[in-house]
Amino acid sequence: MKVLMTGAMGQVAYELQRESQKHMLYAFSKDKLDITDVLQVNDVLEALKPDFVINTAAYTKVDKAEEESELAFAVNRDGAKNLSLACAKIGSTLLQLSTDYVFDGKKTNPYLETDAVNPLSIYGQSKWEGEEAIRQNLEKHFIIRVSGIFGVHGNNFVKTILKISRERPHLKIVNDQTTCPTPAKAIAEMIWKIIDKNSEDFGTYHYCSNPMTSWYEFAKNFVSNVTPIPTSEYPTPAKRPAYSALNCEKINKNFNIHQPNWKEGLKDVIRELSAS
Ligand SMILES: NC(=O)c1ccc[n+]([C@@H]2O[C@H](COP(=O)([O-])OP(=O)(O)OC[C@H]3O[C@@H](n4cnc5c(N)ncnc54)[C@H](OP(=O)(O)O)[C@@H]3O)[C@@H](O)[C@H]2O)c1
Structural domains present in the chain? 2-156+180-211+244-261 (3.40.50.720)
Residue nearest to atom 18 of ligand 1 (CA): 10
Q: Is the CB of 6 under 6 A from ligand 1?
A: yes
Dist. CA 76 → ligand 1 center (Å) = 9
- The residues carrying an active-site annotation are 123
Q: Distances from the Cα of 14 to the Cαs of 77, 152, 197, in angstroms?
A: 23, 9, 22
Dist. CA 57 → ligand 1 center (Å) = 5
The pTM of the full predicted model, rounded to 2 decimals, is 0.97
Please check whether residue 173 is in contact with residue 94, taking contact to mean a CB–CB distance below 8 angstroms. no
d(CA 106, CA 82): 32
Q: Is the CB of 60 under 6 A from ligand 1?
A: yes
124: pLDDT strictly greater than 90 = yes
pLDDT digits (tens, 9 = 90+) for 15-71: 999 987 788 999 999 999 999 999 999 999 999 999 999 999 999 999 999 999 999
Q: Which of 185, 128, 236 is nearest to 11 (CA)?
A: 185
Q: Which of 192, 81, 68, 57 is nearest to 122 (CA)?
A: 68
Mutate to test the pocket of ligand 1, among 33, 56, 244 (most ligand atoms within 8 A of CB): 56
Please check whether residue 6 is in contact with residue 17, taking contact to mean a CB–CB distance below 8 angstroms. no
Dist. CA 95 → ligand 1 center (Å) = 14
Q: Is 114 exposed, middle or buried (CB count within 10 Å of its CB: 0-12, 13-18, 19+)?
A: exposed
pLDDT digits (tens, 9 = 90+) for 215-260: 999 999 999 999 999 999 999 999 999 999 999 999 999 999 999 9
